[in-house]
Amino acid sequence: MTRAVPEPVTRLIEAFSRLPGIGPKTASRLTYFLLRSPDELALRLSEALRVLKEQTRFCSICGNITVDDPCPVCTDPRRDQSLIAVVEEPLDLLALERTGSYNGLYHVLNGAISPVNGIGPDDLRIKELVQRVGDGKILEVIIATNPGQEGDATAMYIQRELTNKGTKITRLARGLPVGGDLEYVDSVTLMRALQGRGEL
């Protein structure tokens, strides 16, 4: 940045730029928005960030973000304790929860295997998953990693690690989006939809 921009402004722009999905232009817009807004907004934002960092942690059982450890999902006796959905990130867990159709437990890996980015199986919470399944109480593991190379590699690795544990291993079905037209669907999605077709 030029000398015309004060150093505190530059620092905040650079800090915003490090966040995922925020480029330099958006970071600048956010910074200048905060400069023009009432002091109360900036103070509330800084307080919310402070509380977030002080009070949240990862659940020692499932790896989800929580205030209480273990988290409310892991301690809820109404949930199916024999079923675990394996997801890459806490946001994936939220997506499954929003459906209202899943009532089991979760296991958050905190990423996916990605040799290009230097992320291997030991960087994820796969060993903890194997331990959870090893106690014999889990009857089914649903692998809900994202479709794509990294998610598929992670799913295959987990499947290999859980083979011979006496647990059913399933993977989320893949197919066509609701409201989509066949002519616009990519060939891989269409092929998987054909392979996973069900009886009417």
* CATH class of the region 79-171: alpha beta
pLDDT at 199 over 70: no
66-86 tens-digit pLDDT: 999 999 999 999 999 999 999
Residue 200 pLDDT: 55
Helix axes 24-36, 39-55, angle to 10 degrees: 120
**Domain definitions of the chain by residue range:** 7-55, 79-171
In this chain, the answer to whether the domains covering 7-55 and 79-171 adopt an identical fold is no
119-134 tens-digit pLDDT: 999 999 999 999 999 9
Instruction: Report the mean per-residue pLDDT for the chain.
Output: 91
Residue 138 pLDDT: 95
Superfamily of domain 7-55: RecR Domain 1 (1.10.8.420)
